[in-house]
Structure 1
């Protein structure tokens, strides 16, 4: 398919747009922290101007989260050099602000009577990007660059768990949160950053106990345990069958079909990192994670849209061009410097993700006759007490170095 045609064609079909209009958000949450944080979120949304669009709240939090993480990355791009303590504090602050804003966007939508399927989709999209930066920042703060294999595992575990959360939603039709899930993971990462800010990032390399176990093993093992529990639940849902005909997904497709796009991201990443003659992952860890993270965010967004529009998910995607070139380059003994192709993968994946999200939002806005970042009319304010009493429905979760998403409220 020519690139030009690819850019000009509409992404969503009329049938998908119709299904999107009929989409009803379904969520179940058993989070331990969410009820405790409700008073804070209710107070915060009550201080938010009524003219402020919910999606604008979400994007501001995401931008702040990305900027604080990029500052940390600038000082420790490979997670080996200990970054200044203030950069860790900035990351903690940025994540707290993002978590708070991400938790009130749905409340603001209900408060201003501007709820729509676009709000849910936009929130999931922002969380898919945030997951990458939050996971990477936590690894840098823990100085995991000294252990590249662990750094790779932690970041891709976050990416995979985020995707799998939407996989089970695509199968069951309902987003589910456990007792220890996104909110708990986010505050765990905030705690990691604060420890690094107060005691210095080097504290995580301190050896304790008889076996001289370093402190970073604590968060790492916690990630493994929580990840195994989450994946066990996801696969139990998949094996049990979906809500579609004959146990299929909401779109009537195989419950195993979403595994293909994820495999096309994670497997090449693992092979490229392990077989690189230039040690591309070890030498350029942050660029590598961000590059493949953008590709993963793209396929996750496509899965979310497939769920909300009850459509079949395409397996191949233009964002996979970068990983494919890296893989082929290694196969032909690196005729092109790997770092060139890695930067191309990051640039191509980022622009492809942004173009895709912008086009989808544009098409939905046109179909629903709404604005993305503006409330085009005087908002019809709901009773504030009813807004405060509504549970802050989360959607998927960004887990600590085991992210899935952050509260994706259906606005």
Structure 2
């Protein structure tokens, strides 16, 4: 199918990025660093190349985790995670990702390449990074294969969905005083560093014991002494609630200014609720001659498939934003997930074993098929959208082009060539 209707292609030329960043840390600490960092990049380096470089660093971190986990799995049948020093590389990789993600827009303005393609590419990489960092952070927090990790996935994806939903309705990207792309990422960087110094077991330390508050009788009696990692999850839940209220306040204000209904946008949050519910029901299937997905090595590929489906969904939302088209509600990949859910829940529904996921081996095949199909669907989306945008606007994805005197896009000269011609 075509992702951009022919009648909406001209809307790409009308798009211009708008953003509001209220983070004091971003304005007074990070932005001066980013302004200097972007000057290190030659003007012939395309902004999307910088974005992809950042995502590549996160992928290296992710493959490092898989290397150690799968190596141990093959040898002993269980997973212990990477050695402590690896977490420092994760911290460095994520910090560099944040920096490169911040300067790609600055590079776009330096080279005159700012536009809808960069917006799509940037958000696409961010969507992929969201799931990858959930898995890595869960490993660093020693959460393992648990419902805490699932809760982290839901909360993190919900925050990203909210931001995209808000941008679609308001026309601009809002970053609050405490936002995921700034303070949230730096918190995860700090988690990696702490895990590198003390090991992941430190996060199992009861929070009252860690803070010495258990020595106060009233607190020790009335406050549950949960682990630091569980306390961090509670903090994330509070942050999600705050972001929901903040995002809706902005959407409500924008809708009122346009004379549009203020409640209807809330209904467009239901697609995320529906998709997340599907994944949770699938994971909560009763055991049938084998362990549940959440307790097996299939957990990570399952989360990755979920993340790719989410990236496809929010990618269509951003595309609708830059092309001024209708908000996407249905995703055909949900049909595949529904099949997986119904099959896994057959013991509860009909009291009979699953047809497809009747054994660990067959479940593994189905989960990996889900991963492959999700990847191919998202790759197809990216390919078609990039081709449509580049062909219609006459630009390139990874080549810097500038407008000449006649207003046509031309490949920018490299610094050496420019000096030679002059």
Question: Could you say whether these structures have the same fold, taking a TM-score greater than 0.5 normalized by the shorter chain as the test?
Answer: yes
Distance change >3 Å, CA 186–CA 143, structure 1 → 2:
same
Deviation at 1:311, TM superposition (A): 1.0
Q: 1:290 aligns with which of 304, 309, 318?
A: 304
Partner of 1:47: 40
Deviates more, 1:123-132 or 1:314-323: 314-323
Distance change >3 Å, CA 295–CA 347, structure 1 → 2:
same
Contact in 2 for aligned 1:83/1:141 (Cα 8 Å): no
Distance change >3 Å, CA 262–CA 228, structure 1 → 2:
same
Deviates more, 1:351-360 or 1:63-72: 63-72
Deviation at 1:316, TM superposition (A): 2.3
Aligned residues: 369
What is the alpha-carbon distance in structure 2 between the residues aligned to residue 164 and residue 324 of structure 1? 24
Contact in 2 for aligned 1:80/1:144 (Cα 8 Å): no
- For the pair shown, the structure with the greater C-alpha radius of gyration is 2
Deviation at 1:212, TM superposition (A): 4.4
What is the alpha-carbon distance in structure 1 between the residues aligned to residue 185 and residue 149 of structure 2? 18
For residue 20 of structure 2, give the secondary structure of its aligned residue in structure 1: strand
What is the alpha-carbon distance in structure 1 between the residues aligned to residue 32 and residue 265 of structure 2? 39
Q: 2:332 aligns with which of 307, 318, 335?
A: 318
1:364 aligns with 2:374: no
Contact in 2 for aligned 1:23/1:309 (Cα 8 Å): yes
Q: 2:12 aligns with which of 20, 44, 69?
A: 20
What is the alpha-carbon distance in structure 2 between the residues aligned to residue 196 and residue 15 of structure 1? 52
What is the alpha-carbon distance in structure 1 between the residues aligned to residue 255 and residue 295 of structure 2? 40
Partner of 2:317: 303
What is the alpha-carbon distance in structure 2 between the residues aligned to residue 239 and residue 112 of structure 1? 36
For residue 334 of structure 1, give the secondary structure of its aligned residue in structure 2: coil
Deviation at 1:41, TM superposition (A): 1.0
Partner of 2:268: 258
What is the alpha-carbon distance in structure 1 between the residues aligned to residue 138 and residue 66 of structure 2? 11
TM-score if structure 2 supplies the norm length?
0.81
Partner of 1:236: 249
**TM alignment of 1:32-43, pairs within 5 A:** 32-35=24-27, 36-43=29-36
1:71 aligns with 2:64: yes
Deviation at 1:257, TM superposition (A): 4.4
Larger RCO (CA within 8 A; separation ≥ 6): 1
Deviation at 1:11, TM superposition (A): 2.0
Partner of 1:378: 412
Contact in 2 for aligned 1:166/1:300 (Cα 8 Å): yes
1:224 aligns with 2:237: yes
TM-score if structure 1 supplies the norm length?
0.83
Contact in 2 for aligned 1:82/1:201 (Cα 8 Å): no
Which ranges of structure 1 fall in alignment gaps of 5 or more residues?
1-8, 382-411
What is the alpha-carbon distance in structure 1 between the residues aligned to residue 86 and residue 286 of structure 2? 31
Over the aligned positions, Cα root-mean-square deviation in angstroms equals 2.4
In terms of fraction of residues, the more helix-rich structure is: 2
What is the alpha-carbon distance in structure 2 between the residues aligned to residue 157 and residue 219 of structure 1? 12
Deviates more, 1:227-236 or 1:189-198: 227-236
Which ranges of structure 2 fall in alignment gaps of 5 or more residues?
215-223, 347-352, 358-362, 402-410, 416-422
Contact in 1 for aligned 2:44/2:414 (Cα 8 Å): no
Deviation at 1:289, TM superposition (A): 1.3
Deviation at 1:217, TM superposition (A): 2.9
What is the alpha-carbon distance in structure 1 between the residues aligned to residue 151 and residue 387 of structure 2? 36
Contact in 1 for aligned 2:65/2:81 (Cα 8 Å): no
Deviation at 1:321, TM superposition (A): 3.8
What is the alpha-carbon distance in structure 1 between the residues aligned to residue 312 and residue 286 of structure 2? 25
